[in-house]
Amino acid sequence: MEKKMSETVTGYIDHVIFRNEDNGYTVMVLKGMEEEQELTCVGTFPAITQGAAIEASGNYTTHPVYGKQFQIASYVEKMPEDALAMERYLGSGAIKGIGAALAARIVRRFGDDTMRIVEEEPERLAEIKGISEKKAMEIAEQMTEKADMRRAMIFLQKYGISLNLGAKIYQKYGQAVYGVLQENPYRLAEDISGVGFRIADEIASRIGIHTDSDYRIRSGMLYTLLQASGEGHIYLPKEELFSRASGLLGVDPSYMEKHLMDMVVDRKLILKETEDGAVVYPTRYYYLELNSARMLCELNILCPEDEEMMEKRINRIEKETGTRLDEMQKQAVAAAASHGLFILTGGPGTGKTTTINAIIRYFEEEGAELRLAAPTGRAAKRMTEATGYEAQTIHRLLELNGMPEEEQEGRAVHFDRNSENPLEADVIIIDEMSMVDIALMHSLLLAVTAGTRLILVGDENQLPSVGPGNVLRDIIRSCCFPVVELKKIFRQASESDIVVNAHKINRGEQVTINNKSRDFFFLKRYDADIIIRVVIALIQEKLPRYVDAKPYEIQVLTPMRKGLLGVERLNQILQRYLNPPDEKKKEKEIGQRLFREGDKVMQVKNNYQLEWEILGRYKIPVDKGVGVFNGDTGIMTEINEFAETATVEFEDGRQAEYSFKQLEELELAYAVTIHKSQGSEYPAVILPILSGPRMLMNRNLLYTAVTRARKCVTVVGSETTFAEMIRNEKQQQRYSSLDRRIRELDESEQKESAIGEKGLF
């Protein structure tokens, strides 16, 4: 495709029609051009003021509603060159404390010499009535600051840095920006959100920094570990780190040993020797695991209860609720009552919910204050429905205030509930623990004081968390805490082939696929396009009536993002059939994605600062807060082209407004990866399965997918691939060591206890 030639316009900003302060998107009117008296311009500007003279590059476009516009790609702000321009600039409000009348008096006094006076003899401004010496110096200071920023932005644009990013960089470094970029542009990757290694590397190459630069190799190693954390790893074996970083940087791994040791000395990395060799942690993740292990051990205290009294109370709960607890469930209630930390685990249909309800009743009888939470809004809603007790997301429980403590990668999140302001509760129950990553676990533990009972519930056979760590599995495998695993499938659950088949898959047993089931179907198809046609027919015609659900509530789950049956292709096709184009529905294209009003969408990254509200009758807000999280699903209800915003209503009733720039955080969600479905439950699940990478097509993934369905699972595809997935136990290895840290602390405590009992001599 032929690239459009950029055009240039010059003029001054007469007035701003619209400005989105969140993303800098601005609609403004430019005047003073030779050919045009007035021109509407649109673009993203970090800081721009009425009256400023600019030279802008971009292209003319025609908006379907607002007509001819000039889309600005880059611009340079020019200082006023004559008395008229100076008066217009000073009177625009660009300089605080100067209005139109005062600007006119200044220019009347100094004429074309006004600019020089402000820059070189600012004290002379005090000659004007209404300007004190102090105010004169403040005006000069503001002019200098604006000139400094203007020069810095021109300098940054030379290296291909966008206006928005340039403003962030200047805000961080100020006049030191020149030295940072010339000496070590890789600092940008560490200091500034939105600048990764690749952007910093591109800037460095434009500046002329060598590929074997010390700064580049260190930054590349940190970036490699950061990428690994995105795959769920807490650390990497040293040799794997060197191999990955070598591929990224294009330098020999032998260069890295020295830099590794320097970074260990600088405490940027932690190097540990294990029985399998040396491993390397980003410092933050090492201490997240270590401190989480310490806090878990501190919570693990015995809370002696009279056994006879416990048994009587459990029997009374059974009688009052009309439920019969089996021996393992009774053990679970007793263990929860007598320990500061307790873990309940088990697969679908094994009575986890019944056991949680019995635990809740047990503590209610004591008059204990309980708090219930789960990692996602959907999981919290399910917990509320199952227990009749209000459950929240963990983020809401901890009172997320939306302000990250560090900006970089949004890594550290500030919760109002922490070690200084702990949760006020006697018992805290957290469900769907397999979804909780190490950072969220650490934040939760900070807010739980010793003496508060913490009960963790989950299925360790589910896929691990999207974020780094393997928290539930590591806690269980440390063998240091009381754990009850429920294995018996109860009668009602045993009538569901979803539950029976999930357990068969988990044990590696083949599933009967004769379609005599009421809730587990297999439609054999061997062509991707035919499979997609069947999926569309199921959603549009067959399943909504069968499971009493709306078409958008039925979820397509697939192992992969790419490929003929990957999320990306499926969503494009499903959107076309399930939410076709309509002149009444507005659309917005962002990169390769097209969003349309009525689309089912999913948040794909945590946004701790996005505001939301829940509207009651007459659209009056009844609740509001901040934070939308990876995996949250909803419907795009409105696209506002003028305000450049889109509104999404999530399943739990929250509504959030996105700027068009923030739409990069959303994806279509007619089909989602099985990983992204963690913690969710749908009336019906459709699994298109044909072929894929062996690492993805495994038992663990299939088990997670099947257990997401409440009423019906339909597999469409190859029975051979389905059988191979059940046989394939191999999962992608996740490097985590919380279990190791727990055991080390536990052994250390036991030694100290033994020394204390025997005495030192």
Cβ 269 vs Cβ 263: under 8 Å: yes
Pairing mode, if any, of strands 7-19 and 53-63? Answer: antiparallel
Check residues 31 and 566 and name the one with the higher pLDDT. 566
Q: How far is CA 122 from CA 81, 117, 213, 596, in A?
A: 17, 6, 45, 55
The pLDDT of residue 410 is 40
Check residues 307 and 718 and name the one with the higher pLDDT. 718
Check residues 549 and 100 and name the one with the higher pLDDT. 549
Instruction: Please provide the DSSP assignment of 635-653 as one string.
Output: EEEEEETTTTEEEEEETTS
757 band by pLDDT with thresholds 50, 70 and 90 = low
The pLDDT of residue 62 is 82
In this model, does residue 460 exceed pLDDT 70?
A: yes
758 band by pLDDT with thresholds 50, 70 and 90 = low
> What token pair was written down for 719?
């029975």
Q: How far is CA 27 from CA 5, 39, 60, 73, 161, in A?
A: 22, 10, 14, 13, 22
Q: Has 352 been labeled as part of a binding site?
A: yes
Q: Which H or E element spans position 371?
A: strand 370-374
Q: Which H or E element spans position 622?
A: strand 621-628
The pLDDT of residue 4 is 63
In this model, does residue 644 exceed pLDDT 90?
A: no
Q: Has 26 been labeled as part of a binding site?
A: no
**pTM (2 decimals)?**
0.77
Burial category of 619 from C-beta neighbours within 10 Å (exposed 0-12, middle 13-18, buried 19 and up): exposed
In this model, does residue 111 exceed pLDDT 90?
A: no
Q: Which H or E element spans position 596?
A: strand 593-596
The pLDDT of residue 7 is 87
Q: Has 40 been labeled as part of a binding site?
A: no
407 band by pLDDT with thresholds 50, 70 and 90 = very low
Q: Count CB neighbours of 246 within 10 A.
A: 19
Check residues 689 and 182 and name the one with the higher pLDDT. 689
Question: What is the Cα–Cα distance from 27 to 32, expressed in whole angstroms?
Answer: 17
Q: Which residues contact 641 (CB under 8 A, 6 or more apart)?
A: 65, 586, 588
Question: What is the Cα–Cα distance from 355 to 373, expressed in whole angstroms?
Answer: 16
Q: Has 637 been labeled as part of a binding site?
A: no
Tell the CATH topology of 496-728.
Answer: Rossmann fold (3.40.50)
Check residues 52 and 364 and name the one with the higher pLDDT. 364
256-265 vs 238-249: helix axis angle to the nearest 10?
110
Tell the CATH topology of 308-346+354-460.
Answer: Rossmann fold (3.40.50)
CATH of region 7-153: 2.40.50
Average pLDDT, the chain: 86
Is there a common fold for 7-153 and 496-728?
no
The pLDDT of residue 551 is 92
In this model, does residue 406 exceed pLDDT 60?
A: no
Domain boundaries, the chain: 7-153, 308-346+354-460, 496-728
The pLDDT of residue 408 is 39
* Rounded average pLDDT over 664-682: 91
Question: What is the Cα–Cα distance from 56 to 34, expressed in whole angstroms?
Answer: 14
In this model, does residue 126 exceed pLDDT 90?
A: no
Question: Model confidence over 152-161: pLDDT tens digits?
Answer: 776 776 677 7
Question: Model confidence over 269-289: pLDDT tens digits?
Answer: 999 999 989 999 999 999 999
601 band by pLDDT with thresholds 50, 70 and 90 = very high
Question: Model confidence over 486-538: pLDDT tens digits?
Answer: 998 876 666 889 999 999 999 999 998 888 899 999 999 999 999 999 999 99
214-230 vs 238-249: helix axis angle to the nearest 10?
120
Q: Which residues contact 23 (CB under 8 A, 6 or more apart)?
A: 44, 164, 644, 659, 660, 661, 662
195 band by pLDDT with thresholds 50, 70 and 90 = confident
> What token pair was written down for 315?
């029997």
Q: Has 645 been labeled as part of a binding site?
A: no
Give percent of the chain above pLDDT 70.
92
Question: What is the Cα–Cα distance from 62 to 529, expressed in whole angstroms?
Answer: 38
* Rounded average pLDDT over 615-641: 87
